[in-house]
Amino acid sequence: MRIFAAMLKNDLILRAARGEKTERTPIWLMRQAGRILPEYRAVRNSLSGFKELVETPERAAEVTIQPVDILGVDAAIIFSDILVIPEAMGLTYEMVEKKGPHFPKTVQSKADIKALKIADPSDLSYVYEAIKITKTELNGRVPLIGFAGAPWTIFSYMIEGGGSKTFSKARRLLYSDTELADQLLNMITESTIGYLKKQVESGADMLQIFDSWAGVLPSEHYSRFSLKYISRICDAINDVPITVFAKGAWWALPEMKDINCHTVGLDWNMNPEEARSLFPNKTLQGNLDPCALYGSLDTIKSETQKMLHAFGDHPHIANLGHGVYPDTDPEKVKYFIECVKELSSH
């Protein structure tokens, strides 16, 4: 029975991440767990809310596996949030229904940083437990992706206290107090390295670093305050393939050539043809506009065809150019996944 399960194992995404040719293009979706699935909402509504779900390993494992069963994706991504790292460092977050994350306390001064610590990997044992349970329950069906936020994106949340239109408080610090900025970025980086290593030890087969707010920085600051720290994380992890997704930072792609990662995530503003020539030795991930899934089935099919054509025979992991939007019809998501499978088979 065990041998049979091992033979069935779908490792397409791992092979694609290593640059190997695959019989078809693997597909998963950023933010596939939660958001769009009524089955997810039913689990979440049976608890006090998002945070209890993240912190209850059996239930987190259950919603991690839902998109594998319901949507047919080629990988699961562990159900958690990038904001568990600031919390483990000492800055608690709240998830406000329909509004998003909120930090009651933020970092504004050296004294605020003194009150924080580098996360102790044991602080996030609920995530590692959820990974172990998920791996057992997946039983080799598809690989499991672990993840963390990039230091710059986590820094932004810790300074701003939530989302922002301009991120002016976080960006201001990069001009007004470089030392403080680097001190906090260093602490986040160290915390993240320990956290990702533990995810791998617990069973994560590959990792993704989400730099969701990359696009708000001028390019010089992006290299200096974001890529530098991402690079340090990639250098520290050697056991599994890593994907770096820098949303909005198309101008930083040339500099990402030297980063020690296997896959570069592209958003829908980035041009796959240009990326192919920039990254002859890296796999590319992406990048259908999430809004394409509001189109008709015919539109979804033709847009998927165009996307696959743009990546050509370059090692490719299909995905959207950012997370799936919460009001997307799950049937359209399923159809997109079927189209990738069908149109890329050879």
By the 8 A CB rule, do 88 and 120 touch? yes
Catalytic residue, from 18, 35, 224, 232: name it: 35
Q: Output 177 or 250, the one with its CB closest to ligand CP3.
A: 250
DSSP 257-302: GGSS-SEEE--TTS-HHHHHHH-TTSEEEEEE-GGGGGS-HHHHHH
**Distance between CA atoms of residues 247 and 216, nearest Å:** 9
Instruction: Give the dihedral sign, CA 125/68/17/333.
Output: negative
Rule CB under 6 A: choose which of 77, 144, 234, 307 binds ligand CP3.
Answer: 77
Number of C-beta neighbours around residue 105 at 10 A: 13
Residue 205 appears among annotated catalytic residues = no
35 is catalytic: yes
CB of residue 95 to ligand CP3, shortest distance in Å = 6
Q: With CB under 6 A as the rule, give the number of residues binding ligand CP3.
A: 23
The per-residue DSSP string of 159-220 comes to: HHSS--SS-HHHHHHHHH-HHHHHHHHHHHHHHHHHHHHHHHHHT-SEEEEEETTGGGS-HH
Looking at this protein, which amino acid is placed at residue 341? K
Pick the closest to residue 278 from 246, 247, 237, 250 (CA basis).
250
Does residue 51 bind ligand CP3 (CB under 6 A)?
Answer: no
The letter for the amino acid at 1 is M
Q: Is 102 helix (H, G, I), strand (E, B) or coil?
A: strand
Contact between 76 and ligand CP3 per CB under 6 A = no
- Which of the stretches 10-18, 93-101, 109-117, 194-202 binds ligand CP3 when contact is defined by CB under 6 A? 93-101
- Asked whether 216 and 171 are in contact (CB, 8 A), the reply is yes
String of contacts with ligand CP3 for each residue 188-217, x by CB under 6 A: ----------------------x-x-----
Single residue of 26, 34, 143, 248 touching ligand CP3 by CB under 6 A: 34
Task: Out of 65, 323, 336, 337, point to the residue binding ligand CP3 (CB under 6 A).
Answer: 323
Residue from 15, 18, 24, 44 carrying the catalytic annotation? 44
Contacts of residue 108, Cβ cutoff 8 Å, sequence gap at least 6:
159
Candidate list 12, 17, 30, 158; residue touching ligand CP3; CB under 6 A: 30
Q: Does 33 bind ligand CP3 (CB under 6 A)?
A: yes
Joined together, the tokens standing for residue 322 give 């950012």
With binding defined as CB under 6 A, does residue 31 bind ligand CP3?
Answer: yes
What does the block give as tokens for 172? 């201001």
Of 9, 24, 44, 221, the residue at the interface with ligand CP3 (CB under 6 A) is: 44
Q: Which of 24, 35, 132, 341 binds ligand CP3 (CB under 6 A)?
A: 35
Residue sitting closest to ligand CP3 (CB): 34
Q: Which stretch binds ligand CP3 (CB under 6 A): 13-21, 32-40, 121-129, 169-177?
A: 32-40
How far apart are CB 8 and ligand CP3 at their closest, in Å? 23
Residue closer to ligand CP3 by CB (options 121, 323) is 323
Q: Which of 62, 66, 81 is nearest to 32 (CA)?
A: 66
Contacting residue, 19, 24, 50, 325, with ligand CP3 by CB under 6 A: 50
What part of residues 95-154 is at the interface with ligand CP3 (CB under 6 A)?
A: 95, 100-101, 147
Closest CA to 198 of 130, 300, 121: 121
Residues 238-297 that bind ligand CP3 (CB under 6 A): 247
Give the separation between CA 94 and CA 55, rounded to whole angstroms. 13
Q: Is 18 a catalytic residue?
A: no
Q: Which residues bind ligand CP3 (CB under 6 A)?
A: 30-35, 44, 50, 77, 79, 81-83, 95, 100-101, 147, 163, 210, 212, 247, 323, 326
What are the residue numbers of the active site? 31, 35, 44, 81, 157
